[in-house]
């Protein structure tokens, strides 16, 4: 078999052969897109609502079955991960490594099918720290590989996303919501309501920004937010500390009126930053609904207005745009430049977890290339790009 071309690029067949040799059995090809958070900044882990979409940047893999119960995963640029399917318990020494994710995905998928060994070679066009959730794309590529090998493809997007979230939370050690994994698994654009324990309520929307004369742009701010796991983790920790002050688990179980009525007590016991982050949650929930309704109605003026308000809330109240006390504030600089270039004709906001990674901008389509060029010039390097929505989500196919 030679190189297999697809709509997402070229499968890493030669790399697979160099790493593992020729496979006698059929090969499984896996694809998982990156994701973009369109509305809902740090609301999912509080039982809130988000709008997210999959984007055309991909993790791709070639997978071959084995018969000895061993799993070998090589992700280009990283060390080979090897494990025995008889030993899938979490390992403290693997936390925050790709080995932890492989073991965690295997443990979750082993409960859903008939586990067997395999070799996998993965390449990624979803850069680490890019804000497109490279970790979720890696997780869902592996989950779909095991879905095809072990479960005959019967697991749906939500089931695979839950396995991936558990691996990142319980094995990798990052307290995360479910938005990233759901967006990568589903594809397209969807509103996700996480108020119900377990699976979110999902409403998909057939929408393309190009139809309304706009483009979705992401700008890398020149900082790897994966280096700020502790800062990221503090956001849900502080929000949930506020919820626990009311005897609840997450902020969706608390009313805004309750918080305002007892705000002085919350500030005294948990500090102003925790109180502000809780206030952001309620503000952002309203803005998520406003943006979803605007997209349904193709009302881009209302969408842009709500996006601008959301960006301000993230910066001022959620405080995930810059690291407190640091002289380095690349995301804030990128936002300032973007707003200056947009001149009120679009909107910009922090994207994803924050503390680095990327900012997101909605730009008039006829100005998008010039916007990207100007952002490149101001920040140095090729940092801005126009992205398109991937309609399919994570998938596998037998070669």
CATH of domain 5-205+391-398: 3.30.230.10
pLDDT of amino acid 198: 74
| Residue with tokens 């969807």, as numbered in its chain | 190
Alpha helices in the chain (DSSP H): 13-20, 98-110, 134-150, 157-166, 179-186, 229-245, 256-261, 263-270, 272-296, 300-313, 330-342, 368-379
Residue 128 clears pLDDT 80, i.e. is over it: no
Give the pLDDT mean for 111-131: 87
**Average pLDDT rounded to a whole number, residues 38-66:** 94
* Residue of higher predicted confidence among 227 and 351: 351
Q: Domain map of the chain by residue range?
A: 5-205+391-398, 209-387
pLDDT, residue 225, reads 56
User: How many CA atoms, within 13 angstroms, populate the side-chain half-sphere of residue 80?
Assistant: 12
Tell me, what's the pLDDT at 174? Answer: 83
What is the average pLDDT score of the chain? 91
Query: What pLDDT shows up at residue 129?
Result: 63
Measured at the alpha carbon of residue 266, what is the angle toward residues 260 and 271, in degrees to the nearest 5? 125
How confident is the model at residue 5, as a pLDDT?
36
Q: Fold match between 5-205+391-398 and 209-387?
A: no
- For residue 127, the model assigns a pLDDT of 72
pLDDT at 4 over 70: no
249 CB-contact burial (10 Å; exposed 0-12 / middle 13-18 / buried 19+): middle
Highest mean pLDDT among 8-12, 20-24, 32-36, 139-143: 139-143
Please compute the mean of the pLDDT values over residues 28-38 and round it to a whole number.
95
Range 89-106 average pLDDT: 95
Provide the CATH number for the domain formed by 209-387 in this structure: 3.30.70.890
Output the pLDDT for position 226.
Answer: 59
- Identify the pLDDT of residue 221: 87
DSSP letter string, 349-377: EEETT-SSSEEEEEEEGGGHHHHHHHHHH
| pLDDT tens profile 316-369 | 999 999 877 677 888 999 999 999 999 999 999 998 888 877 899 999 999 999
Q: Quick one: pLDDT band at residue 7, thresholds 50, 70, 90?
A: very low
Q: With 90 as the cut, is the pLDDT of residue 131 above it?
A: no
What's the pLDDT at 179?
A: 87
What pLDDT shows up at residue 356?
A: 77
**For 246-251, what is the mean pLDDT?**
97
Mean pLDDT, to the nearest integer, of 177-199? 90
| pLDDT at position 2 | 31
């Amino acid at each position: 078999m030679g190189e297999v071309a697809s709509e997402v690029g070229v499968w890493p067949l030669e790399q697979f052969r160099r790493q593992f040799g020729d496979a006698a059995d059929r090969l499984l090809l896996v694809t998982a897109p990156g994701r973009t958070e369109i509305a809902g900044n740090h609301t999912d882990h509080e039982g809130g609502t988000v709008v997210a979409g999959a984007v055309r940047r991909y993790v791709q893999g070639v997978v071959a079955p084995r018969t000895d119960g061993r799993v070998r995963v090589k992700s280009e640029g990283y060390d080979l991960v090897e494990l025995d399917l008889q030993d899938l318990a979490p390992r403290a020494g693997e936390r925050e490594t790709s080995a932890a994710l492989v073991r965690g995905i295997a443990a979750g998928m082993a409960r859903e099918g008939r586990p067997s060994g395999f070799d996998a070679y993965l390449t990624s066009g979803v850069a680490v720290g890019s804000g497109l959730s490279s970790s979720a794309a890696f997780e869902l590529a592996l989950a779909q590989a095991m879905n095809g090998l072990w479960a005959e493809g019967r697991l749906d997007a939500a089931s695979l996303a839950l396995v991936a979230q558990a691996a990142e939370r319980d094995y990798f050690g990052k307290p995360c919501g479910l938005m990233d994994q759901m967006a990568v698994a589903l594809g397209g654009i969807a509103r996700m309501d996480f108020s119900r324990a377990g699976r979110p309520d999902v409403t998909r929307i057939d929408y393309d920004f190009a139809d309304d004369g706009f483009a979705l742009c992401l700008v890398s701010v020149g900082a790897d937010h994966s280096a700020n796991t502790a800062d990221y983790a503090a956001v849900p920790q502080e929000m949930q500390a506020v919820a626990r002050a009311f005897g609840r688990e997450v902020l969706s179980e608390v009313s805004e009126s309750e918080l305002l009525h007892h705000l002085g007590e919350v500030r005294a016991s948990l500090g102003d930053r925790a109180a502000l982050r809780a206030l952001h949650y309620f503000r952002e929930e309203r803005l998520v609904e406003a943006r979803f309704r605007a997209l349904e109605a193709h009302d881009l003026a209302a969408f842009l207005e709500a996006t601008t308000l959301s960006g301000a809330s993230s910066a001022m109240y959620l405080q995930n745009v810059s690291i407190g006390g640091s002289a380095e504030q690349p995301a804030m600089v990128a936002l300032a430049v973007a707003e200056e270039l947009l001149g009120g004709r679009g909107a910009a906001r922090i994207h994803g977890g924050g503390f680095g990674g990327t900012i997101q901008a909605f730009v008039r389509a006829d100005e998008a290339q010039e916007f990207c060029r100007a952002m490149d010039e101001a920040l140095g390097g090729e940092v801005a790009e126009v992205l398109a929505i991937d309609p399919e989500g994570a998938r596998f196919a037998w070669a």
